[in-house]
Amino acid sequence: MAVEATKVEVVSGPNGDAEIFELYESNQPLQYTIQFKGEKSMVFMTLGEAYLEAGKRAGVRT
């Protein structure tokens, strides 16, 4: 089965918008990734980690 990516949040800041996506694959734990300025980040195991990285990229504290 293919991985499904669903946008769950957008963190906006002076550097731009960082979009957080939830990655779902059958029988696998949820994972998260960030898209910022057209580039995808590494995969995060928790939403909290993804929020922190999204804030850094966007230029705001989260």
Q: pLDDT tens for residues 16-35?
A: 999 999 999 999 999 999 99
Which residue segment(s) compose the domain that 17 sits in?
A: 4-58
- Whole-number Å distance between alpha carbons of 32 and 30: 7
pLDDT value at residue 62: 85
Count the Cβ atoms, other than its own, within 10 Å of residue 58. Answer: 21
pTM: 0.91
Q: What is the pLDDT of residue 51?
A: 97
What does the pLDDT read at residue 2?
87
Domain total for the chain? 1
Please name which of 58, 55, 3 lies closest in space to residue 31, comparing C-alpha atoms: 3
CA distance 6 to 22: 5
